[in-house]
């Protein structure tokens, strides 16, 4: 299977709102597991129901609108970040099942509605991706039984 890489550019507009909040443990843990298994510094996850794309890095998850929000600056074009989740150090968590403190940074006025939709539509996407990974891992590890031929 061939691999190819696409370079993406994202612009961070001026902040509209910054709030302290928490991410559910399952969401944070799934994001970290997917990123770790990818073996890359960043991971792109489409959220088709919203026409958004999540870009996951170890210290931040950004969300861009795939249908709009494009800008140019100094001859470079790229998508505008709508919302960013910036988890605080996980060391502050009391347990792996506890929520993770984070700052939610919004760059546009429709923050509350978009954040509400992300919290309802993003976790199932993460679960499907993890399930697909598990299935691929199981298929890769499927044992083969071969008949032993006798040399005569």
Q: Which of 18, 26, 25, 82 is nearest to 53 (CA)?
A: 82
Percent of the chain at pLDDT above 90? 59
Burial of 63 (0-12, 13-18, 19+ CB in 10 A): buried
CB of 60 within 8 A of CB of 86? Answer: yes
Region 118-143 average pLDDT: 85
For strands 76-87 and 10-11, give the pairing: parallel
Taking only the tens place, the pLDDT of each residue in 6-58 is 778 999 999 999 999 999 999 999 999 999 998 889 999 999 999 999 999 99
49, containing H or E segment: none
**Per-residue pLDDT at 7:** 78
Percent of the chain at pLDDT above 70? 89
Residue 72 clears pLDDT 90, i.e. is over it: no
Region 119-123 average pLDDT: 96
The Cα–Cα gap between 17 and 106 comes to 5
**Per-residue pLDDT at 55:** 96
């Amino acid at each position: 299977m061939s691999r190819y890489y696409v370079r993406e550019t994202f612009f961070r507009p001026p902040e509209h709102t910054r709030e302290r909040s928490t991410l559910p443990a399952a969401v944070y843990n799934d994001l970290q597991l997917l990123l770790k298994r990818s073996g890359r510094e960043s991971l792109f996850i489409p959220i088709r129901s919203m026409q958004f794309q999540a870009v996951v890095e170890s210290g931040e998850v950004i969300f861009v609108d795939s249908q709009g929000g494009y800008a140019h600056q100094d001859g470079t074009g790229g998508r505008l970040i709508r919302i960013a989740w910036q988890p605080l150090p996980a060391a502050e968590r009391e347990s792996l099942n506890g929520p993770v403190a984070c700052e939610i940074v919004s760059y546009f006025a429709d923050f509350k509605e978009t954040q509400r939709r992300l919290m309802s539509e993003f976790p199932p996407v993460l679960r499907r991706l993890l399930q697909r990974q598990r299935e691929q891992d199981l298929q890769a590890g499927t044992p083969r039984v071969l008949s032993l031929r006798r040399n005569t």
